[in-house]
Copies of this chain bind each other. A is one copy, B any other.
Amino acid sequence: MSELLLTGIGRLITNAGDPITDAAVMMVDGEISYAGTASDAPDQGGGDRIDCEGRAVIPGFVDAHTHVVFAGDRADEFGLKMQGASYAQIAKHGGGILSTVAATRAAGEEALFQEAATRVRRMIASGTTTIEIKSGYGLDLDTELALLSVARKLGHDLPVTVKTTFLGAHALPVEYRDDRKGYLDLVVEEMLPAAAPLADYCDVFVEEGAFSVDEARRVFEAAAGLGLGARVHAEQLSHSGGAALAARIGAVSADHLDHATANDARLLAESGVVAVLVPGASYTLRSPQAPGPMLLDQGVTVALATDCNPGTSYLESMGLVVSLAVVEMGLSAEQAIQAATRGGALALQMPDHGFLVQGSAADLVIIVAPSAVHIPYRPGTNLVWRTIKAGRVVAGAWH
């Protein structure tokens, strides 16, 4: 039996009731056995103990939308885009998503793993305890399977829970440039059946220039037949109908939603689709943030995620995501912290994660500040003192 007791918690965010001051948390064998006031805490046996000395504790971040497994370097492309370069100019410099696809295809599984592991270790040190990882930079059978294998291996080798999503319909690969139907046949008939054992979900990028609602529906129907729930890249760059599709097919999540309308919000709320918002992408693209407050007002469950990817949101820090959600999107600090923890867990159908009550997963973060509001208040500083995954300290800046 492994035991860990946290004492001296200045402020405990449980996501199951009001914050608790002067709190304690007891963890046994990877689960919370007690989370409440210090005065009511049970006596501890012989396990480990950490005095938090007034620091705040929150559930671990659940980063419900990432593309963290990739190869190649698109920093120069970022620099050009920031100076107003057109897509044509960027393509001329060999940029764009297909440059990541080319580099990823060429990289080999071991290099993909090592690069992604470096990123995920930094994410863990920034308080992330669960992460969703999408394929979509292979766009051929072997590389898509390799991406999902690497994602699963990250969850196996590193102290983080990984959920995997097959995103074969991310973009049209260069070899199918003039054969949309041929590529969708490949996705549906070959990739999906082969990917299903490695994937928890299927995703489609619904957008002008990517895939239509009808094309997406075909992919999601095939995925459902293989037992994969749907996540939808919806209403990011324009209003393309992805959110309504997500509602209609009972998707698990609709992601991005920068251009979602109040009607979309009602549909998502009615059908229980979680909205996964990614403010780092809007920041990087200099576009307006998704209407997070409106979605909450309409009763939609909101999650926050990094969207970590080399093209539009190379963020690893959920803390910065929370800050952007508060400062640029207009969520309250409490809403943003909850969306980055409990919201993410609901977006990944992990009901025993993202909150801290008896029986829930012992995934939590001790922050070097007396309250969680410090996270949005102090962007760019990693306030994580310790990341605790399944009841064990797995990362921490010893400051």
Contact = CB atoms under 8 A, between A and B. Distances in A.
A375 to B, nearest CB: 9
Contacts of A327: 82, 283-284, 286
A118 interface: yes
Interface in A250-302: 280, 283-284, 286
Interface stretch (A26-34, A42-50, A365-373): A365-373
A327 B319 CA distance: 18
B373 A78 contact: yes
Contacts of A73: 370-371
A382 interface: yes
A381 interface: yes
B314 A378 contact: yes
Contacts of A78: 333, 373, 376-377
Interface residues of A, number: 42
B79 A381 contact: no
Contacts of A376: 78-79, 82
B369 A75 contact: yes
Interface in A294-317: 314-317
Interface string A359-399: 00000000001110110111111100000000000000001
B118 A377 contact: no
Contacts of A150: none
Contacts of A321: 380
Contact of A283 (B82, B316, B319, B379): B379
A239 interface: no
Contact of A377 (B75, B83, B121, B126): B75
B317 A381 contact: yes
A327 B78 CA distance: 10
A52 interface: no
Contacts of A399: 118, 121-122
A332 B378 contact: no
Given A79-B333, A82-B330, A319-B380, 16 more contacts: A75-B370, A75-B371, A75-B373, A78-B373, A79-B334, A82-B327, A82-B332, A82-B376, A122-B399, A126-B380, A283-B379, A286-B327, A314-B377, A315-B381, A317-B381, A320-B320
